Amino acid sequence: MKINFINFKNFCLKGKIKKIYNDAIKSLNFGGFFVNLKLCDREEIKNLNKEFRKVDKETDVLSFPNLNFIDKQIDVKELANELDKETGLVSLGDIIICKEVAKAQAKEYNHSFKREICFLSLHGLLHLIGYDHETKEQEEEMMQKAETILREYKVIR
């Protein structure tokens, strides 16, 4: 899996995020994906949230999927249609995280900024591959998957 890190200047979490992402997508049985992962400021996330979700406030993370997953499965034919002929990779989509909101949430939840960025990155990726939290059951499944992966890579605090 390839990750295009945008605005991750001097940011030490790239290796950890790559491992977390590879773990999250291993059940898809296809490793040829790429994701754009961007850190932004409050103004940009608020504008994007307003434009795409019609919610006029800042948020922590937004995901913009390129593929339609149903029950965390994708049609192999759809993958073939979305394959970039030059790179041989399929774009899962874009994830945008507000750095300032992540810092505030890390403080609020009494854990590290590193953990918050890893969590939000993973949360965004899970949305790209078909997870959601519209119902309590979906939320529990998504949170359990995220916490299991974060624990495995020792992203606890």
Each residue's pLDDT tens digit in the chain (157 positions)? 899 999 988 677 898 999 999 888 887 766 688 899 999 999 999 999 999 999 999 999 999 998 877 666 676 667 777 778 888 888 899 999 999 999 999 999 999 999 999 999 999 999 999 899 989 999 999 999 999 999 888 876 6
Q: Is 93 helix (H, G, I), strand (E, B) or coil?
A: strand
Per DSSP, helices labelled H in 8-112 are 14-25, 42-53, 76-82, 99-108
- Retrieve residue 104's tokens: 């505030």
Of 131, 151, 122, 133, whose CA–CA distance to 35 is shortest? Answer: 122
Q: Would you list the domain boundaries of the chain?
A: 2-152
The architecture in CATH of the region 2-152 reads: 3-Layer(aba) Sandwich (3.40)
pTM: predicted TM-score of the whole model, two decimal places: 0.90
